[in-house]
Amino acid sequence: MGFFLETLFGGLMAGMLYSLIALGFVLIFKASGVFNFAQGAMVLFAALAMARFSEWIPGWTGIESRLVANVGAFLLAMALMVIVAWLIEKLVLGKLVNQEGITLLMATLGITYFLDGAGQTLFGSEIYKIDVGLPKDPLFLFESTFEGGVLIGKEDLYAAGIAAALVVVLTLFFQKTGTGRALRAVADDHQAAQSIGIPLSRIWVIVWSVAGFVALVAGIIWGSKLGVQFSLSLVALKALPVVILGGLTSVPGAIIGGLIIGVGEKLSEIYLGPMLGGGIEIWFAYVLALVFLLFRPQGLFGEKIIDRV
Amino acid sequence: MSSRKIGDIILDVQNISLAFGGVKALTDISFNVREHEIRAIIGPNGAGKSSMLNCINGVYQPQQGSITFRGKTFKHMNSRQVAEMGVARTFQNLALFKGMSVLDNIMTGRNLRMKSNLFWQALRWGPAEREEIAHREFVERIIDFLEIQAYRKTPVGRLPYGLQKRVDLGRALAMEPQVLLLDEPMAGMNVEEKQDMCRFILDVNDEFGTTIVLIEHDMGVVMDISDRVVVLDYGKKIGDGTPDEVRSNPEVIKAYLGTSH
Amino acid sequence: QDKVQFFPSLTGRTGPVAPNATPFANGYADYMKLVNARGGINGVMTLVEECETAYATDRGVECYERLKGRHGGATVFQPLSTGITFALTEKIPNDKIPMITSGYGRSDSADGGVFKWNFPLIGHYWVAGDVVLQHIAKKEGGWDKLKGKKIAVVYHDSPFGKELLPIVQERSKMHGFEVQLLPVPAPGVEQKATWLQIRQQRPDFVIMQTWGVMTSTALKEAVATGYPRERMFGTWWSGAEPDVRDVGAAAKGYNAVMMQHGAEFDAPVVKEILEKVHGKGQGTGPREEVGTVLYMRGVVGAMLAVEGARAAQEKFGKGKPVTGEQARWGYENLNLTQAKLDSLGFKGVLRPISTSCADHMGSAWARVHTWDGSKFVWASDWLQADDQIIRPMVRASADKYAAEKKIQRRAPSDCQS
Amino acid sequence: MLYRENGQFKTSYQADQQIFPISQDRLAIALLIAVAAIVVPAFASEYMFRAILIPFLILSLAALGLNILVGYCGQVSLGTGAFMAVGAYAAYNFQVRVEGMPLVASLLMGGVCATAVGVLFGIPSLRIKGLYLAVATLAAQFFADWAFLRISWFTNHSPSGSVSVGSLQAFGWRIDTPVEKYLFCLMFVVVFALLAKNLVRSAIGREWMAIRDMDVAASVIGIRPIYAKLTAFAVSSFIVGVAGALWGFVHLGSWEPAAFGIDRSFQLLFMVIIGGLGSIMGSFFGAAFIVVLPIFLNQALPALGSLVGLSISTAAVAHTELMIFGSLIVFFLIVEPHGLARLWSIGKEKLRLWPFPH
Amino acid sequence: MSTPLLNVNGIEVIYNHVILVLKGVSLQVPEGRIVALLGGNGAGKTTTLRAVSNLLAGERGEVTKGSITLRDERIEKLSTADMVERGVIQVMEGRHCFGHLTIEENLMTGAYTRKDGKAAINATLEKVYNYFPRLKTRRTSQAAYTSGGEQQMCAIGRALMANPKMVLLDEPSMGLAPQIVEEVFEIVKDLNTKEGTTFLLAEQNTNMALRYADYGYILENGRIVMDGEAKALAENEDVKEFYLGMGGGDRKSFRDVKSYKRRKRWLA
Ligand SMILES: Nc1ncnc2c1ncn2[C@@H]1O[C@H](COP(=O)(O)OP(=O)(O)OP(=O)(O)O)[C@@H](O)[C@H]1O
Ligand SMILES: Nc1ncnc2c1ncn2[C@@H]1O[C@H](COP(=O)(O)OP(=O)(O)OP(=O)(O)O)[C@@H](O)[C@H]1O
Ligand SMILES: [Mg+2]
Ligand SMILES: [Mg+2]
């Protein structure tokens, strides 16, 4: 039982980490109808920037404080993400207004390649470290009830808290503000949104910047967990089933989806894996998402797919 | 008008009700369509006209009521069955296959009648080729009839709206339907084009004996060409009869026609 | 300039394994420069051209095709990827180019009777697995102490990872310890479930067949689940500086078996490279990297490549470049005595290596080192894999391969040329 | 003035329905095939065959298959790699387990097995649409990756999970040299391209496109979505499966699941989109672009660098290559979102009007 | 007459680099007037409006010749959002409502560019609901699930929410019930007289359009073939016959035209 709880918590925490990345997908999709495959690359890029800037800042400024280095690096990395957002709008999306979803998706794959190359060129391709002081040591709960207690990563707890906070803020933003409404309008129909004077370019820069911010946060948390290196961009693959399960257009869906996928894949790996030879969690996550979709094709909380004549 | 022989009831709609959540699109609607006639459905926006057609051809499943077609009664039908029984339709918001040429769009209307299997189609030889050519000939006749020869190979997405409507009609005609449901076939056309469209509809009705159910907001057209008219208002039937009867029905005037007609 | 010996270098400087594969490529290139500084191979200068594979098999194949005919023909390929090795194994017999896969690739290719062109010189995965287990057994006080113990194997879910399993299973049958297999899907960044299982099952030891970012992730998860690093043993692709750098002091106590060499900052060859290559500003990578584990593996790889060519020159004509086919003979007839190795600057780094027609590995020595929180230190003496166990496994597997491919074992006469 | 259809009148529907109604086009395509089958083998270098032409042909075939699914039927799939893998491993198993199985039969049986798996994974498409489906098809991808590693029966119990095939032989003809392999692949590609073209311009092709463009309208005219979607999955997976088998047997000779990983799926999708959705010819353009461009960049960049006296490190080349590759993809999408095939037909349209601008 | 609000001067539009659609169209829209743009299917009405509101890019079209000025300012290079900022808004043909948004949210997005505060926006919202009571009853439905006519009202209402100076109306009457058509034109008239809003109106319903417009242009095949005061056009014999369906003075029954068929084009 203690172990089951431990797996459950482990899954929940892993799920929250996936949500953090899934959030980036949802954000951009919701606001522009673009399925942004570059989210993973953005996470890596942001994390690389963060890691390297915090390494370089003491050298540039002569100040040896870790806090200064981290805050400075965060600001610089954020500035960089805004520039990236601006460039993406100017050079890519602005020129692909009103194109089909799949074309846009491919364009973001192009951006992925570009960011992968640019990130490694600017910042190098070794393993770098992000240390923002997240605690690494485990926490043991219910030690009196279960032998050995129930283990939870403190780092994961922090991450979960941050993810939850982001979700609340973003949900409010989309549902309650005029800009949020405009963003949803853009996702529905670029041309009509243009026709009523919604400035697509400005909006996209904002959204991609926010997505850049989410990527940066995800990058910092994942980066301090895994080290910053190319493979970080591949964690996006873990977020995809989360996105479709929760619904492409739902911010809270990203969290719920994350929790379901996280728990589902950990439980499956541990209780089902040994029977099947192990290593099943990656496809299990997708199959789980698939099963949910059979019942709700738009994901748990996604907007209903409109299909009407 | 007398030259056309209006036949028996071919389509009978009985007590259809349809609701979407709280919205009652149709409430207890009954009417019938006789063989060979042109039956119009009119009513204000959102009255449930398109929903009625959707029920008839299986896109929507009404919660209540049944539909009798050629003596067989159905509660639920799927679109395929309806198509097989010989009901074709056009759409209010164009529902053409945008990426395909005019010819291919109309050819899809023949698909139900094409029998050769995948294997022969891949080889495109023997029966498959003969079949393809036979149907192509039929489709060419429709293209001639609708006077869209010049656009045969143009992707429909590039055509102006009016011509797209014509292709939509062509696709329905290619099914050689017994009943043709037309949802605002003349929206967005000028008078001359409407005249053309009326001519097509009347020709089809005359020459092939096709029964026609027509939704249209242009009262000139409706009054001129239809034999009987059903009037819907917010999901309810408020009138049914010949154009003249309907035109003078006070409830219809109030709900729909306004005073100017 | 026309008389060069061409050594193609398939690199992995980008992508998922870049942190680990880059030092290898640098060491390889630096040693070749050193050979030239020393006067070449009997006067024949070495030439390196790189081609980036990003650890992808199809790119590796393209690189191979691109480089194999360049600069008078490739001497030998070292793909540094098990996947590429598998693909090239099918191609090299036609092209008559040998391939060195020191410490990776197909373990059964040590059987020169079937794999005429493959050379897993100085070690393959089965050697690594055997030595790790020997080390553990020794620490426990003998093989019999392993009976009833539980050993978990955390491995990269790919042919690279799976290649280790046969030896572990063989040994488990012999000594009665239990094996728990824990595959981790590539790229290995998600290991929570794996380590929760370890936490629950509490195996006595964990053996890791990991590569790239997967190793440090494993270490971090071990820290997070409180599994003692002292009980974790990596194979030789899982025990270098990039793997522990970002874990730092928390990885203290982690062990990895080393294919003879470890981090060798004091080796004569390292000093010579620093002086003659980096000292002249011709170093390929950063200076600090020289002497690190994977850098050294590149250096050793290059040395083996060069010495094979040198041996071939002895037979086919001194001072002239050798073809790939001739070089193959050299790799099959390597005889690197301790004196020879010492003179090349590998004193204390390598033990004698001698290959033959039947034995394409040439040496099965290894050591285990431990991370002390800031550097690797030796934790074992020289250990040698048990030939009695490995040879039959190699033979059986090679026979199966030969049967599948319908190829004949080489006749003794074929060994003469 | 040379490229005109003036004076070419079609007197029968049969003539009008030819694949290339304009005689200049027919001539051009005949020439192209002749060049591919006769001139290329005589002149291309071994490197060209092994590193460029053979991969190009096989991947065009796979892209063609995928194009049927994505371009014609509108079902986006990211699981193509999995179907290739099924084709390859199934063909391998027929080859090693069935005594005397001819090579071509093995390859085709690989396609048949891929068809079965493709249809299975196509079933969700009846409910799941668009991007949701695209992401969901990754389930196939990861499942295949896993199954071929884990279930040792598929790999004939090879301990590492990697399989290899012996020398190839078809119709008593040994396929050893690069030229032979090339011609062997070319044969497959030409035949399948022709069959695929026939399908897409037949009734079934129109059903696919109808489902793609407007599925409700399609069902109203009597097209069954189940049938249309599943046949698209079947035909597509069959072709992709055969391509996978060729990739394993002819190009690699030995492979592990990573040869058919998710990168392959993306690569193929790229080919289809850059080449042109819903265009058989586009598949070839796309494959050429995606196969050749990285190799070209990889070789051209150092050469360019040395021209200006710069020696570029391998890593820098690789990174720059990534950046340029990404940029070019975006560039082409912007220039023509409908792909190179559309660019090609616009070019032809201009040529037809030439020397008048419109 | 002083300089018109909008001056389109000999523009050519090409789609997809090859399809030439407008072949030198010139027209003027004076401030505070209602100008109708008439013509058959495919004549290029929509294209002209798109050129003015700069919505061509998304359709892969471009203006290759000629100029467009708004209050003497060249506007070809501006974005659609800039045009809306200058008070010019287009109601697109084919409705284009935001399907996932409710009717009310659709309307509110129309006010996106407004800076005059919540109260003013709410007042406009009320005004729109007044114009189209049907929208009020359907305010919480997702636009995609409303009927064709309701969507058309929504699209028009959405544009009005921006409080525009000039509206480019593309086929406003399409799919609307007769009495709503009348209402729409009444609304146009109303806004025009009360608030001085200028309208450029592309319409197939020539009858209605000429009844309400001040001036009209007739477009055929990408060229302006006739223009004049609305009244004069309505009296023109050709217009009567081909656009109003009143050959020989009387309206012909649609049933009777079937027996014969003629087409006339001013320019072949
Ligand atoms: N995106 C496009 N790509 C290519 N051609 C187009 C495009 N949009 C319109 N056209 C072509 O331009 C011509 C003019 O079209 P436009 O839509 O401007 O006509 P219209 O007068 O508005 O017609 P309607 O009354 O049917 O709406 C038509 O022939 C049409 O085929
Ligand atoms: N799928 C659906 N979901 C929810 N509501 C719907 C759906 N389809 C139709 N409705 C509602 O049902 C009512 C009737 O719609 P319908 O489209 O049948 O009207 P209509 O008579 O065709 O009007 P119009 O003349 O404007 O086309 C409308 O209020 C519409 O909002
Ligand atoms: Mg309707
Ligand atoms: Mg128009």
CATH number reported for the structural domain that contains residue E164 in this entry: 3.40.50.300
**Cα–Cα distance, C2 to C5 (Å, whole number):** 9
Identify the pLDDT of residue B261: 43
pLDDT score of C406 more than 50: yes
The predicted-structure confidence for E35-50, as pLDDT tens digits, reads as follows 999 988 888 999 999 9
Identify the pLDDT of residue A124: 85
Does residue E133's CB lie within 6 angstroms of at least one atom of ligand 2? no
Identify the pLDDT of residue D245: 95
ipTM of predicted assembly, 2 dp = 0.89
Average pLDDT of the residues in B99-115: 89
Omega before D355 cis (within 30°)? yes
Identify the pLDDT of residue B260: 47
DSSP state of A88: I
In a domain, D330, yes or no: yes
Does residue A197's CB lie within 6 angstroms of at least one atom of ligand 2? no
| A touches D, CB cut-off 8 Å, minimum 3 pairs | yes
DSSP state of C233: E
Q: Distance from the CA of B93 to the center of ligand 4, in angstroms?
A: 14
Alpha helices (H) along chain B? 49-56, 79-84, 102-108, 118-123, 127-146, 161-173, 191-207, 219-225, 243-248, 250-252
**Cα–Cα distance, C139 to C152 (Å, whole number):** 17
The predicted-structure confidence for B68-106, as pLDDT tens digits, reads as follows 988 888 888 788 888 999 999 999 888 899 889 999 999
User: Long-range contacts for D152-156 (Cβ within 8 Å, ≥24 apart)?
Assistant: D154/D89, D154/D93, D155/D89, D155/D92, D156/C404, D156/D92, D156/D93, D156/D96, D156/D97
Identify the pLDDT of residue D285: 92
CATH number at residue D252: 1.10.3470
B79 and B184 co-located in one domain: yes
Torsion of CA E141, E145, E146, E151, to 10 degrees: 100
Contacts of C213 in chain A (CB under 8 A): 127, 226-227, 229-231
The predicted-structure confidence for C48-72, as pLDDT tens digits, reads as follows 999 999 888 888 999 999 999 888 8
Token digits of residue A288: 């789980």
The predicted-structure confidence for C80-102, as pLDDT tens digits, reads as follows 988 899 889 988 998 999 999 99
The predicted-structure confidence for A284-309, as pLDDT tens digits, reads as follows 999 999 999 999 988 888 877 776 66
Contacts of E21 in chain D (CB under 8 A): none
Task: Kindly give the parts of chain A with pLDDT less than 70.
Answer: 148, 307-309
Alpha helices (H) along B101-180? 102-108, 118-123, 127-146, 161-173
What's the structural domain count of chain B? 2
The predicted-structure confidence for E176-209, as pLDDT tens digits, reads as follows 888 888 888 998 999 999 989 999 999 888 888 8
Contacts of A265 in chain C (CB under 8 A): 193
**β-strands C335-336, C353-354: how paired?**
antiparallel
**Quick one: what percent of chain D has pLDDT higher than 90?**
42
In a domain, D97, yes or no: yes
Confidence band, pLDDT 50/70/90 cuts, at residue C342: very high
Q: Directed axis angle between helix C57-67 and helix C82-89, to 10°?
A: 50
Contact C401, C114 (CB under 8 A): yes
**Cα–Cα distance, C217 to C223 (Å, whole number):** 10
DSSP string, D78-99: S-HHHHHHHHHHHHHHHHHHST
Report which of C120, C10, C82, C172 is spatially closest to residue C363, judged by C-alpha positions. C120
- Among B176, B202, B222, identify where a domain stops: B176
B193 and B164 co-located in one domain: no
As a three-state string, the secondary structure of A64-122 is CCHHHHHHHHHHHHHHHHHHHHHHHHHHHHHHHCCCCHHHHHHHHHHHHHHHHHHHHHH
Q: Which atom of ligand 2 is nearest to the CA of B18?
A: 12
DSSP state of D250: I
B159 and B37 co-located in one domain: no
B6 and B82 co-located in one domain: yes
Report which of C165, C396, E224, C208 is spatially closest to residue A277, judged by C-alpha positions. C165
In a domain, D23, yes or no: no
**How close does chain B come to E71, measured CA to CA in Å?**
31
**Cα–Cα distance, C322 to A291 (Å, whole number):** 61
| B touches A, CB cut-off 8 Å, minimum 3 pairs | yes
Look at residue C43 and give its three-state secondary structure: coil
- Among B111, B145, B176, identify where a domain stops: B176
**β-strands B179-183, B38-42: how paired?**
unpaired
Identify the pLDDT of residue D150: 86
Contacts of A309 in chain B (CB under 8 A): 54, 59, 91-93, 95
User: Does A226 or B1 have the greater pLDDT score?
Assistant: A226
Give the domain range for residue D194.
46-353
Which residue is it, tokens 């970080």?
Answer: A232
Contact A16, A272 (CB under 8 A): no
- Angle (CA) B125-B128-B131 rounded to 5° is 130
What is the amino acid identity at position D149? Answer: L
Give the domain range for residue B154.
95-176
Identify the pLDDT of residue C417: 59
Mean per-residue pLDDT pooled into runs of 10, chain D (358 residues) = 59 68 76 84 85 93 95 92 95 89 91 95 90 90 90 84 82 84 92 91 91 89 92 95 94 88 90 90 92 88 80 83 90 87 83 68
For B57, the enclosing helix (H) or strand (E) is none
Q: Does B136 contact D217 at a Cβ distance shorter than 8 Å?
A: no
Token digits of residue C271: 């000093």
What's the structural domain count of chain A? 1
Give the domain range for residue A114.
2-295
Confidence band, pLDDT 50/70/90 cuts, at residue E263: very low
What is the amino acid identity at position C24? Answer: F
Q: Does D159 touch chain B (CB under 8 A)?
A: no
Mutating which of C58, C85, C109, C165 best tests the D interface, going by the most D Cβ atoms within 10 A? C58
Contacts of E56 in chain A (CB under 8 A): none
Q: Does C216 contact A6 at a Cβ distance shorter than 8 Å?
A: no
**Cα–Cα distance, E53 to E35 (Å, whole number):** 16
DSSP state of D52: I
Which residue is it, tokens 């426990």?
Answer: C140
Q: Does A100 touch chain E (CB under 8 A)?
A: no
Does residue B178's CB lie within 6 angstroms of at least one atom of ligand 2? no
In a domain, A25, yes or no: yes
Token digits of residue B122: 């891949």
**If 0-12 CB within 10 Å is exposed, 13-18 middle and 19+ buried, where does residue E76 land?**
middle
For E208, the enclosing helix (H) or strand (E) is helix E206-212
Does residue E18's CB lie within 6 angstroms of at least one atom of ligand 1? no
Does residue E235's CB lie within 6 angstroms of at least one atom of ligand 1? no
Q: How many CB pairs under 8 A join A and B?
A: 6
**If 0-12 CB within 10 Å is exposed, 13-18 middle and 19+ buried, where does residue B123 land?**
middle
Which residues touch E169 (CB under 8 Å, ≥6 apart)? E90, E91, E156, E188, E199, E200, E201, E202, E203
Identify the pLDDT of residue E248: 55
Q: Does A279 touch chain C (CB under 8 A)?
A: yes
Contact B105, B97 (CB under 8 A): yes
Contact B215, B182 (CB under 8 A): yes
pLDDT score of C158 more than 90: no
What's the structural domain count of chain E? 1
Q: Does A198 touch chain E (CB under 8 A)?
A: yes
Contact B33, B213 (CB under 8 A): yes
- Angle (CA) A271-A275-A278 rounded to 5° is 80
What's the structural domain count of chain D? 1
